[in-house]
Copies of this chain bind each other. A is one copy, B any other.
Amino acid sequence: MPTIKSVAKLAGVSVSTVSRVLNSSGYVSAKTRKLVMDAVAKLDFRPNHVARSLVHRESKTLGLIVPDIANPYFPALARSVEDAASAAGYVVILCNSGNMEESETRYLSWLRQRMVDGVLLASTNQVTPERLGQDWPVVLLDRDLEGLNVDSVRVNNFLGAQEAVLHLVALGHRKIAHLAGPENVTTAKERVAGFRAALALAGINPDDQQVIHGPFSYEFGQAGMAQLLSAGEVPTAVFCANDMIALGALKTCRERGVNVPLEVSICGFDDIFLAEHTDPPLTTVRQPIYEMGQAAVQMLLSRIKERSQKTPSGKPAPYRGETILLEPQLVIRSTCSRPAN
């Protein structure tokens, strides 16, 4: 690998001159510039980014931690994040925590050691300020730190869930179950709240309805639906906390010969790519995934910039703790219809 030294030697100039032309900083005569450029081309020299990072104390790298890369929601998010980051000259390190807090913490630490400039965290775990590590630019994705001053971009889960359940109610359902996400995750909690609010609005006692908590996974969808189906009173509709759960539920119905939507209506949340292609196509609440990624990156980038500018002034810039809230949208497809009777 050629270094800046080899280029300097070949061009017959000093390393600082090479550096100058490479960064177009400072004056350098046209002829020397050409000399250097030629040497660079001849050697196919590319500046070592690691060395640069060390000097500049920034790596032009972002970290993105997701809980489950197998859930299509996250690849979609990753793509959006990468697009935005890439456009700004950043590369993103994608880390899959597999829903394990330990792994998440380890990644956080790794990223910090690698001088990553900031991280986007889509955590399924309890996020605490300590775990995030001091004054490191972090924006939370689709999660909130309840009342704490952490930046985040999220979707209005309450409204989305409420709208979905209201739709079910409007169709005539009175017996609606909820296959909810993990009990201690804000996203899931908010959806439960929306679910209950809609019910209350319709004059249905939320406490009479079944709410089963579990991970945001296909497997939970299968198991949860099975449980619902074998209970004494089978609901005529089930609102799932995300699409993966809905897919699992759909699968169980198919296996058991339960017709969707005739016997039971199913509604999801997220609108992942596949939702449109299940059979029947899934009615669900769409999250503006692409926009979320974009917004999150913008936010993170501006925090990073602020930080680097504030440094000279002295104090580490007060933490704003802004949150961008995007609106979800109900997408009506074919898994919800009037109840049979």
B46 touches A112 (CB 8 A): yes
Q: Nearest residue in B to A273 (C-beta to C-beta)? A: B70
A303 on the interface (CB 8 Å rule)?
no
Q: Nearest residue in B to A247 (C-beta to C-beta)? A: B277
A96 on the interface (CB 8 Å rule)?
yes
B46 touches A113 (CB 8 A): yes
Mark out the residues of chain A between 43 and 96 whose CB falls within 8 Å of any chain B CB in the assembled complex.
Answer: 46-51, 53-54, 59, 61, 69-70, 72, 74-76, 78-79, 82, 86, 91-96
Question: Which residues on the B side are within 8 Å of A93 (C-beta)?
Answer: 91-94
**How many chain A residues touch B (Cβ–Cβ < 8 Å)?**
46
Supply 29 A–B pairs (Cβ within 8 Å), ascending by A.
A46-B109, A46-B112, A48-B115, A49-B110, A49-B113, A50-B50, A50-B53, A50-B59, A50-B113, A61-B114, A69-B78, A69-B82, A70-B76, A72-B75, A78-B96, A79-B96, A82-B95, A86-B103, A91-B107, A91-B110, A91-B114, A93-B93, A94-B94, A218-B273, A250-B277, A251-B276, A251-B277, A254-B279, A278-B278
Name A's B-contacting residues (CB within 8 A): 46-51, 53-54, 59, 61, 69-70, 72, 74-76, 78-79, 82, 86, 91-96, 103, 107, 109-110, 112-115, 218, 247, 250-251, 254, 273-274, 276-280
